[in-house]
Structure 1
């Protein structure tokens, strides 16, 4: 039976970064690399929290086109106390609990032990932190996380019952690992979830073609012409996708195309897809926004293999 090390490509073999990356971070990143499912990714993140004595972990994020007061939540602890603290019936209390910490890129310290870190704190939030402390979450290390395409934004928090001094000691020893794993783990979790959704919904290659063209704004007739099929065939495939995915409008299906990575970057000119070229950001004097493409000149008699 091959050793675990043999499952890694050469550039990821253990030992390549020995002495340069903290061992805990290196080990956790290896586990994330090997994770095949979203549950395995989440379990790896939870293990890191347990190892550093911040075992209560929650991920709160908003997906594209999600309502302002809605959120997706992953957590490994009972949070009934949060509903009682905010006494909200019409929206997710997590949007009140973590949303103030999503701004910017800098991780924040939160919780009853770090109330002085807040520039503005409401009475409901103080009540929530008190309830959290009574349930073992006296301090939290909150990392803002995001993805650009598709645009997801939220926080991944590691919490525990450590004192203020103990929490700061944990961060001095493992803050780099916690922040890096939060950022990388979030991206891996979302991309893995999207792949699982596509597989679970049985989205075929032909349906992906329709999603891509629909996401580019084409009408049914134009999609049919591009694919060389009838309009009826296009609509049948869209109906099948709607049934399997639960998405019923063109806007929802177009958003799915973006989420699955079927659409190109709209800020890039189409020529940017060429395999060879240097992308440079043009100055404001040349162009107010966007990217330009500068392609290298090729000699008349290229050498073999070029």
Structure 2
């Protein structure tokens, strides 16, 4: 990341949304002319103003940002944010959560982790040592360590604590900070041009 990337630098340190684009360049701290020229080029291609929402990725720690932008004047963009700012913020957060879920689901495929390695990952996450794992799987300790070395090579993770954290991130083990409630979700909110509808089912609700 280059230091003069103002809005990206903002996203690294703050969670407050930010107005971006050539229409809001006067609100930026000092940025080089090269950056202003990038904004001018974007404006010529229909991206004059935008609303950027900082996001967070926890495993591994990273900063992200989602921007809603278009060919809008400063006044038009401010009106959009006043009318729909909360909706855009929620949409960004929900989209980000969906992305994180799909990204985690694809991790084994991206890193060529086999079913046997996932099984090993679950046992390591549960705190089992090599001897116990070997006994449960009916294989030798050396075979367990070979499988572990392959898992380490595929993931780049070297400690058992990090492997346990990975197991929770992938859903192989339950995350203690994200436990489902006693009762399943029973409320569905639908929003479209026809309005907002809230549908509830009492089938699994507590008495």
Q: TM-score with structure 1 length normalisation?
A: 0.46
Instruction: Find the counterpart in structure 2 of residue 115 from structure 1.
Output: 25
Q: What displacement does 1:188 show?
A: 1.1
Q: What displacement does 1:181 show?
A: 0.8
Counterparts of 1:140 and 1:164, CA distance in 2:
9
Distance 1:260 1:98, change over 3 A: farther
Instruction: Find the counterpart in structure 2 of residue 190 from structure 1.
Output: 100
Deviation larger for 234-243 or 183-192: 234-243
Contact 2:130–2:141 at 8 Å: present in 1 too?
yes
Instruction: Find the counterpart in structure 1 of residue 132 from structure 2.
Output: 226
Instruction: Find the counterpart in structure 2 of residue 298 from structure 1.
Output: none
Structure 2 spans left out of the alignment, 5+ residues: 183-207
Counterparts of 2:37 and 2:8, CA distance in 1:
16
Counterparts of 1:233 and 1:182, CA distance in 2:
45
Contact 2:52–2:68 at 8 Å: present in 1 too?
yes
After superposition, where does 1:124-203 map in structure 2 within 5 Å? 124-199=34-109, 201=112, 203=114
For residue 155 of structure 2, the aligned residue among 231, 240, 247 is: 247
Contact 2:6–2:28 at 8 Å: present in 1 too?
no
Q: What displacement does 1:144 show?
A: 0.4
3-state SS of 1:250 partner: coil
Counterparts of 1:230 and 1:95, CA distance in 2:
55
Across the two proteins, how many residue pairs are aligned to each other?
Answer: 172
3-state SS of 2:53 partner: strand
Counterparts of 1:95 and 1:195, CA distance in 2:
35
Counterparts of 2:91 and 2:39, CA distance in 1:
25
Q: What displacement does 1:158 show?
A: 1.0
Counterparts of 1:129 and 1:185, CA distance in 2:
26
Query: What RMSD, in angstroms, separates the aligned Cα atoms of the two structures?
Result: 3.6
Distance 1:108 1:258, change over 3 A: same
Q: TM-score with structure 2 length normalisation?
A: 0.64
